[in-house]
């Protein structure tokens, strides 16, 4: 039981064994119920700890005081130019502890001024571009759920500082039912006293997820263009102009900035100022977004320019700009999608298939704190990403949804609601097929069961199958062996391409000097070529050795050895295709 002593508040006096406490301060109302530690931290911040374990709060505590306390933690100039901040002493440990709640170092963020400077991360050619004098205006929409104060505020302040006043019609904040206390009265107070009136705050009456929150923001918005940002971003130099310029050039251009990394531990603004190379959006057949290199055909199309918009098969989802009318015409979002995930691929496929363009605009850059976990809860542990992805697969992927389900057999029978409205939308917009999208937009995407001679599980001796051993696809990982699963699951899905690759989505099997077999990024080299012989061998063309499971147990790495008709060298695929 905590005991609270409120200085100067004779009306409240000294409490012992408090079950519930409500303190009415001049501008604030603090409610505390046992077990609610958030409030304790506010009291601790405002008041001081007494030797007997009680706390004191000066009665004139107010949002103003709370904000003054925040401001007193800021170190002028710290983190300027996007530089890394490294903590020492007790702050180091506090920072580490904050990471566990926020998925980034909040102590660092609290010390960095909200208006810190960042370097110009753009390619030097970008500063030679000029933009129309009739650029469309923007409503910047930022949704948040339990976002940390200083990071949310820095996002807002950086947008205001980096955007010409004339172009920035409004900043629309949508609170997705946060329960952090400081995001309530204190936020309203801050907006009223510190920010211009074009910053508007809306609140959802219940937790609805980022998709519905963005829809609410879009409904409230009135500028020519909608710009969506996550609530932990920092805008770069001239970030908005090239985005809205591109939308001025074509109403159906949906555009994304280069998303730079703000380091989650030091808040360093990181960018590549050597080659200025960047990646664009792809997807994995398991339904997840991924970064991919720009295909050489696309680089040729833009004549290897550093400033031209690059066609992107998909977008990450959090940071993009779209003409406001076009947003509604093209079907906004699937409003049945819950919480988090999938809406970015849904919009990407929809935009391309229904006649729009999705592009990365390299002269626009925005930093984003990439977090390694979600600092908010998913009610009932709902797999919203999985379910949302099923919805988009059912609506947009046609027969190619088979590859998604092949990788996610667990989602085959999941309850995903009704998609008839979205199918009607697809119909009324007369959108093209997913096959068209794969042939014309994501033309270098590997399709596990097309242009292959075999695919599925690759079964060897003793019911053992080839397996990626859960090692991440894009990393160099061993080709493993594991007991065959009863159905094809992602880790055991392999293809033998017509080019002779023994491969998965990105990685191809190749032989090392020590005869071990590793999965490396496919490069078309001879050591990644394999043939299937009449007996069922998998023979590596360069070494003329055969894949062999002799003396291996579940979880081991495969090897090759001299081909000699051993049972451990025979491999049977689930499916063989006519070639």
Q: What angle do CA 497, 499, 503 make, to 5 degrees?
A: 40
CB nearer to ligand LR7: give 144 or 530.
144
In contact, 254 and 356? CB cutoff 8 Å = yes
CB nearer to ligand LR7: give 265 or 499.
265
CB nearer to ligand LR7: give 141 or 552.
141
Residues of the shown chain interacting with ligand LR7 in the complex, contacts defined by CB under 6 A = 143-145, 147, 176, 209-210, 213, 230-231, 259, 289, 316-319, 339-341, 343-344, 368, 370, 374, 376
Residue 344 CB, shortest distance to Mn ion, in Å, is 11
Residue 230 CB, shortest distance to Mn ion, in Å, is 4
CB nearer to ligand LR7: give 230 or 510.
230
Taking Cα atoms as reference points, which of 82, 44, 172, 3 lies closest to residue 366?
82
CB nearer to ligand LR7: give 47 or 209.
209
Residue whose beta carbon is closest to Mn ion: 230
Number of residues located near Mn ion, criterion CB under 5 A: 1
Residue 68 CB, shortest distance to ligand LR7, in Å, is 26
Q: Phi, psi at residue 368, to the nearest 5°?
A: -140, 135
Residue 43 CB, shortest distance to Mn ion, in Å, is 31
The conformational region for residue 74 under phi > 0 = left, psi -120 to 50 = alpha, else beta, is beta
Binding segment toward Mn ion, per CB under 5 A, in 25-33, 52-60, 228-236, 254-262: 228-236
CB nearer to Mn ion: give 214 or 311.
214
Question: Out of Mn ion, ligand LR7, none, which partner does residue 460 contact, by CB within 5 to 8 A per kind?
Answer: none
Residue 310 CB, shortest distance to ligand LR7, in Å, is 16
Question: Out of ligand LR7, Mn ion, none, which partner does residue 176 contact, by CB within 5 to 8 A per kind?
Answer: ligand LR7
Per-residue DSSP letters for 253-284?
Answer: EEEEEEEEEEPTTT--EE---SS----EEEE-
Residue 193 CB, shortest distance to ligand LR7, in Å, is 24
Local structure of 466: helix, strand or coil: strand
Window 98-137: contact mask with Mn ion (x via CB under 5 A): ----------------------------------------
**CA gap 11, 364 in Å, rounded:** 56
Question: Out of Mn ion, ligand LR7, none, which partner does residue 234 contact, by CB within 5 to 8 A per kind?
Answer: none
CB nearer to Mn ion: give 46 or 145.
145
**CA gap 278, 291 in Å, rounded:** 9
User: Residue from 230, 241, 334, 510 that binds Mn ion (CB under 5 A)?
Assistant: 230
CB nearer to Mn ion: give 358 or 366.
366
**CA gap 311, 9 in Å, rounded:** 63
Tokens standing for 546? 């055969």
CB nearer to ligand LR7: give 47 or 281.
281
264 binds Mn ion, rule: CB under 5 A: no
Residue 291 CB, shortest distance to ligand LR7, in Å, is 7
| Cα within 13 Å of Cα(465), Cβ side | 21
Taking Cα atoms as reference points, which of 578, 369, 325, 269 lies closest to residue 454?
578
Tokens standing for 83? 């530089």
Taking Cα atoms as reference points, which of 181, 202, 213 lies closest to residue 29?
181
The conformational region for residue 67 under phi > 0 = left, psi -120 to 50 = alpha, else beta, is alpha
Residue 256 CB, shortest distance to ligand LR7, in Å, is 9
DSSP, res 295: P
**CA gap 16, 12 in Å, rounded:** 11
In contact, 462 and 568? CB cutoff 8 Å = no
User: How far, rounded to the nearest angstrom, does the alpha carbon of residue 469 sit from its chain's CA centroid?
Assistant: 25
Question: Out of ligand LR7, Mn ion, none, which partner does residue 341 contact, by CB within 5 to 8 A per kind?
Answer: ligand LR7
Question: Out of Mn ion, ligand LR7, none, which partner does residue 154 contact, by CB within 5 to 8 A per kind?
Answer: none
Residue 72 CB, shortest distance to ligand LR7, in Å, is 26
Q: For 494-558, give the secondary structure using H, E and C.
A: EEEECCCEEECCCEEEEECCCCEEEEEECCCCHHHEEEECCCCCEEECCCCEEEECCCCCCCCEC
Question: Out of Mn ion, ligand LR7, none, which partner does residue 147 contact, by CB within 5 to 8 A per kind?
Answer: ligand LR7
Residue 315 CB, shortest distance to Mn ion, in Å, is 13
Question: Out of Mn ion, ligand LR7, none, which partner does residue 425 contact, by CB within 5 to 8 A per kind?
Answer: none
CB nearer to Mn ion: give 70 or 230.
230
Residues of the shown chain interacting with Mn ion in the complex, contacts defined by CB under 5 A: 230
């Amino acid at each position: 039981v905590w005991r609270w002593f409120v200085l100067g508040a004779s009306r409240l006096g000294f409490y012992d064994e408090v079950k519930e406490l409500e303190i009415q301060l001049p501008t604030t109302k603090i409610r505390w119920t046992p077990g609610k530690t958030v409030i304790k931290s506010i009291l601790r911040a405002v008041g001081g700890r007494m030797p007997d374990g009680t706390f004191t709060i000066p009665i004139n505590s107010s949002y103003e005081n709370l904000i003054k306390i925040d401001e007193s933690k800021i170190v002028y100039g710290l983190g300027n130019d996007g530089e890394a901040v490294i903590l020492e002493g007790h702050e180091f440990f506090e920072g580490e502890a904050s990471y566990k709640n926020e998925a980034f170092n909040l102590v660092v963020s609290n010390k960095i001024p909200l208006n810190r400077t960042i370097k110009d991360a753009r390619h030097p050619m970008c500063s030679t571009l000029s933009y129309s004098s009739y650029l469309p205006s923007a409503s910047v929409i930022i949704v948040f759920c339990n976002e940390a104060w200083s990071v949310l505020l820095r996002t807002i302040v950086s947008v205001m500082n980096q955007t010409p006043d004339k172009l920035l019609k409004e900043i629309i904040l949508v609170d997705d039912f946060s329960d952090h206390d400081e995001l309530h009265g204190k936020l309203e107070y801050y907006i009223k006293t510190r920010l211009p009136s074009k910053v508007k705050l809306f609140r959802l009456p219940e937790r609805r997820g980022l998709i519905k929150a963005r829809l609410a923001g879009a409904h409230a918005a009135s500028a020519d263009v909608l710009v969506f940002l996550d609530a932990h971003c920092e805008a770069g130099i001239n970030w908005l102009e090239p985005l809205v310029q591109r939308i001025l050039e074509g109403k159906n251009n949906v555009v994304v900035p280069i998303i730079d990394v703000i380091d989650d531990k030091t808040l360093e603004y990181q960018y590549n100022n050597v080659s200025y190379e960047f990646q664009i959006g792809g997807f994995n057949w398991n339904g997840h977004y991924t970064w991919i290199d720009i295909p050489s055909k696309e680089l040729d199309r833009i004549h290897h320019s550093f400033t031209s918009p690059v066609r992107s098969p998909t977008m990450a989802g959090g940071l993009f700009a779209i003409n406001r009318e076009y947003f509604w015409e093209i079907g906004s979002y699937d409003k049945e999608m819950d919480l988090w995930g999938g809406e970015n691929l849904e919009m990407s496929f929809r935009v391309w298939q229904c006649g729009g363009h999705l592009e990365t605009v390299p002269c626009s850059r925005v930093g984003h704190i990439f977090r390694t976990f979600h600092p908010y809860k998913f009610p009932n542990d709902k797999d919203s990403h999985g379910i949302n992805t099923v919805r988009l697969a059912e609506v947009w992927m046609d027969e190619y949804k088979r590859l998604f389900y092949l990788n996610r057999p667990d989602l085959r029978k999941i309850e995903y609601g009704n998609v008839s409205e979205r199918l009607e939308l697809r119909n009324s917009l007369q959108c093209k097929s997913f096959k068209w999208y794969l042939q014309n937009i994501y033309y270098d995407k590997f399709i596990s069961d097309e242009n292959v001679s075999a695919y599925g599980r690759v079964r060897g001796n003793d019911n053992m199958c080839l397996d990626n051993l859960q090692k991440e696809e894009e990393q160099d990982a061993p080709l493993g062996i594991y007991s065959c699963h009863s159905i094809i699951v992602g880790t055991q899905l392999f293809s033998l391409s017509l080019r002779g690759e023994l491969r998965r989505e990105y990685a191809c099997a190749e032989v090392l000097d020590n005869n071990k077999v590793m999965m490396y990024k496919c490069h078309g080299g001879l050591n990644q070529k394999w043939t299937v012989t009449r007996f069922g061998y998998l023979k590596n063309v360069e070494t003329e050795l055969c894949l062999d499971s002799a003396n291996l147990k579940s979880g081991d790495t495969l090897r090759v050895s001299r081909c000699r008709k051993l049972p451990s060298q025979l491999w049977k695929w689930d499916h063989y295709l006519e070639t």
